[in-house]
Structure 1
Amino acid sequence: MDPRPADLTTVALWEGDGALRLVEVPLPTLVQGEVLVRVRLATVCGSDRHTVSGRRSSPCPSVLGHEAVGEVVGLGPHGAPGDDGRPLEIGDRVVFGVTVACGSCDRCLAGRSAKCRSVRKVGHEAFGSAWPLSGTYARHLVLPSGATVARVPAGLPDLLAAPAGCATATVMATIEAAGPLEGRRVLVSGAGMLGITAVAAARDAGADHVVVTDPDAERRALALRFGATSARDTDEPVGLVDVAIELSGASPAVARCLELLDLGGRLVLAGSVAPGPDVPVDAERVVRGWLTITGVHNYEPRHLRAALDLLERTRDHVPWDELVTPPVGLGDIGRLLAGHAATRPRAAVVP
C-alpha cells in the first residue's frame, strides 16, 4: 500500500543542468474537463534526452515525459470524454495525445490542431505554470480540458501501449502522409524507435517492399524482425522507391531519400526536428519527376487511435516488446535520461 497521503504525489522535477529531483507535491482540485491519471508505465522519448542534454529548449523547472499509459483516478465536474466520445470512467486504462489544442483558431479549424496557435504539450509545460503536473515522469499527471484521451484495448500490455502517445502515433501520421502504400516500394531511413515502428506500419498498410537504411547493424537486424524485406547500411545501394520516410533527421539521409525517389515518388520528412545543414534540392528533377516533399510534426487525434489499432491488430505477430526495456523505478529516471543502459529503442519506468 502507498504510505503517502492521498492528496500528495511524487514527481521527477527537472531543474536544468541534467538534474532531476524527486519531490512530493499536492494533487490539485480538478476543474471542469480535467482528468487525473495515475501513471502505470512511462517510456523515455529521445526528445527528453535532448532536453536534459541541452540540445532542445524546454521550460525549466518542469516535469518531463509524454509517453505513458495510465489509469484514470479522478475527473473534474461533469467528467470528460474519451476520443470516441464516450465519457471516461474511473479505472479506465488510457493513453493520451501529446498536444492540447484550443480547437477554435484558424489552424485547428483547418485540421492542423497539432500546430494550434496556443498549443500546450504534455511534458513541456513549466512547473510554475497553470499546468504544473503535465509530465509523465511522475506518479500522477493532470490532463486538461481538450486533451485527447484514448482507452487502451484490454489485451494490449502496458509496454506496448505506452509509446502509442508519441512514437507510434507520429508514425501513423507519416504513413497517412505517405499516401496509399498497397503494393508500393517504401524506404524507411533510420531504424530507431520511429523507424522500426514505421516498418511494421508500412507492411501492415500493404507495402510490397520495405527497405531500411541505418548505420547500426543491430538496428538493421531488428528492422528485419519487424518486417523489413531488406536492411542496408547508409552507403549501400538501395534502388528506386515509390515512398521514402525519413526519420533519422540527418541531412545526408534526406538528400539520399530524394535521389532514390522514382517517378511520382513522395518523400515524408519527420526526423528533421532540429537545425541542420541545408539539403540541396534539384528543382528540375522535382518538377519533371512529379515528386512530392512533405513534412510531419506531431500528429492529429485520429493518429492516436490509429496507433492503438495498429498495435492491437499486429501484437500477435510483431515483436513489439523488443522495443522497450524492462521498467525500473522513478528514482532511475535521471540515469535513463542520460542514456545509460539504453539497450533498446525505449527505456521504461514505473512510477
Structure 2
Amino acid sequence: MPEHDPGFRHATIPALTLGREVVLPRAAEAMVWSGVGLPLDAVAVPGVLLGRGDVLVEVELTTVCGSDVHTALGHRPADRPLVLGHEQVGHIVAVAEQSYASNGMPLRVGQRVVWSVTVSCGTCQRCRRGVPQKCLQLAKYGHERMRRGWELSGGFATHVQVRAGTAVVVVDEQVPATVLAPASCATATVVAALGAASALVPLAGATVLVTGAGMLGLTACAMATDAGALVVVSDPDAARRQLALAFGAAAVADPGAPTESPTGVASVLTALLQAGAAEPTVALELSGARSAVQCVLDLIGVGGVVVLVGSVSPGEAVPLDPESIVRRLVTVRGVHNYTPDDLAQAVTYLSGAWHRHPFSALVGAIFDLSQADAALLKAATACHPRVGLSPQPPATLG
C-alpha cells in the first residue's frame, strides 16, 4: 500500500497531467476480485489516460454495499476480474477537458465529489426518454470487468477514473465521509423510490410502510418522516427496528411475529388506524424478501402505491391477485438505480439531515484498503448497515 501523509488532503498527492495522460507520483492501487472464494489481489496502476470529460478522483472512503457482498459470494452474475465498490467520496486530482458536474459547472482539481453508480451515453433512446440509468450503452462502477483503459473502475481502490457520462456532484468538506459515501447508491436510490411514490401520493400526512431496515430502509424512514409522513418500519431484526425509531419511525413491526401478535405488521397498522392514523397509501419494499413483497401488496390501502426496490436478484415468484389490485386502485412501480437529479437531491438532503439523524453511525468498522477481504466478510455479518474501506489513515477522514 502507498504511504500517506497523516495530514492528507488532495494536494498531498498531486498528479502531473500531460495532455490527457495522468502520471501519478505513486502508483494507484486497486483491489481486484477474481472469483468466489479467492482473495482480492492488489494491482498497481501507475498511469491513467483520461478521455474527454473524465476526471481522476482520489478515494477518501468507500462503503461496502450489499451488492458488493453478493457479487463476491457469487449470488449475482459478474464478469471478472473486476474492482468492486460503487459508494464512495473523494477529491479530484486530475481533470480532462470538458469535464463538468451534473449541474453544468466545470470540475476542477481539489473539489470533493461523489458520483453516480452508472455511466450513460446521453444520446440513446432511453437516455432521451429520461431513464439514463437504463442507458443502452450502460456501464456501472464496481460491476464491470477490469480492462485496459479503465482499470480504476470501482471504489475498492486508491483512485477511480470517473468517466464522461457520469453524474458528478460536488460536496461540502464539512459533511463526514461516512455520511456522503452511501449517497452514490443507497441515498440516491431512496430519493428515486420516494419520488416514484410521491408522484402519485403526497408524502405529507401519508402513512408509509417500509419493509427492510437496512441502509435504504433507515434512509427512507428519515426522508419520509422529514417530508411529513407517518412511517412504519418492518424488519425481523430487533436491533434494526430499534434503530429505525432513531430515524423517525412512528412504529416498528416484526414480520416474523405470529399473525395475532401485536408486533406483527398488520396488527401495528391496525392499531395506528384505531388511533386515528390514515391507512397506508405508500409502501416501499427494500428488503427483496418474497414475504415482504407479498406483505406490501396485501396491506397497501385504497389508491396506494407500492414501490419495489429490493428485488434485484432472481427469486421465487410472488402471487398477484389482479382483482384486488384493480378494486383497490393500487399502483405497483419498480425502481432500480436513479437519475442525476436524484443524486443531487440525495447530497442536498444528507448535507442537512446528518445533523438531525444519526447517519454517521450507520457505518461501523473502517478497514484499510489492503483489508478489503476482511471488510467484505464484516459487511456480510455486521450489525451496522455499512462498513467502510479507506486508503486514508482513519484520523484524516472528513
Gaps of 5+ in 2: 6-12, 14-23, 258-263, 270-278, 392-398
- TM-superposed deviation, 1:329: 0.4
| Kept in 2: contact 1:49–1:339 (CA 8 A) | no
Q: Counterpart in 2 of 1:344? A: 384
Q: Counterpart in 2 of 1:222? A: 243
Query: 2:205 matched to 1:205?
Result: no
Taking the aligned partners of 1:229 and 1:27, their CA distance within structure 2 comes to 52
Q: Counterpart in 2 of 1:185? A: 207
Residue 316 of structure 1, aligned match among 346, 349, 355: 355
**Which amino acid counterpart does residue 288 of structure 1 have in structure 2?**
R
Q: Counterpart in 1 of 2:319? A: 280
Query: 2:169 matched to 1:150?
Result: yes
Q: Counterpart in 1 of 2:294? A: 255
Q: Deviations over 1:307-351 (max 9, x none)?
A: 111111212111111111142201111111123662310000111
| Kept in 1: contact 2:188–2:345 (CA 8 A) | yes
Q: Deviations over 1:183-240 (max 9, x none)?
A: 0000000111111111001112221x10000100000000000000011100402324
Residue 179 of structure 2, aligned match among 160, 165, 182: 160
- Please show how residues 1-351 of structure 1 align to structure 2 within 5 Å: 2=4, 6=25, 8-18=27-37, 19-76=39-96, 78-179=97-198, 180-207=202-229, 209-234=230-255, 235=257, 236=264, 237-239=267-269, 240-339=279-378, 342-351=382-391
Task: Provide the alpha-carbon RMSD of the alignment.
Answer: 1.5
Q: Counterpart in 1 of 2:20? A: none
User: What's the TM-score once normalised by structure 1's chain length?
Assistant: 0.96
Paired residue secondary structure (1:135): coil
**Which amino acid counterpart does residue 217 of structure 2 have in structure 1?**
G
Taking the aligned partners of 2:149 and 2:382, their CA distance within structure 1 comes to 33
- TM-superposed deviation, 1:7: 5.3
**Which amino acid counterpart does residue 56 of structure 2 have in structure 1?**
L
Taking the aligned partners of 2:367 and 2:186, their CA distance within structure 1 comes to 20
- TM-superposed deviation, 1:252: 1.1
Give aligned pairs, total: 349
User: What percent of counterpart residues are identical?
Assistant: 46
Paired residue secondary structure (2:53): coil
**Which amino acid counterpart does residue 65 of structure 1 have in structure 2?**
G
Runs of 4+ residues over 6 Å off in structure 1: none
Taking the aligned partners of 2:49 and 2:124, their CA distance within structure 1 comes to 28
**Which amino acid counterpart does residue 59 of structure 1 have in structure 2?**
D
| Kept in 1: contact 2:354–2:360 (CA 8 A) | no
Gaps of 5+ in 1: none
Which is greater in Rg?
2
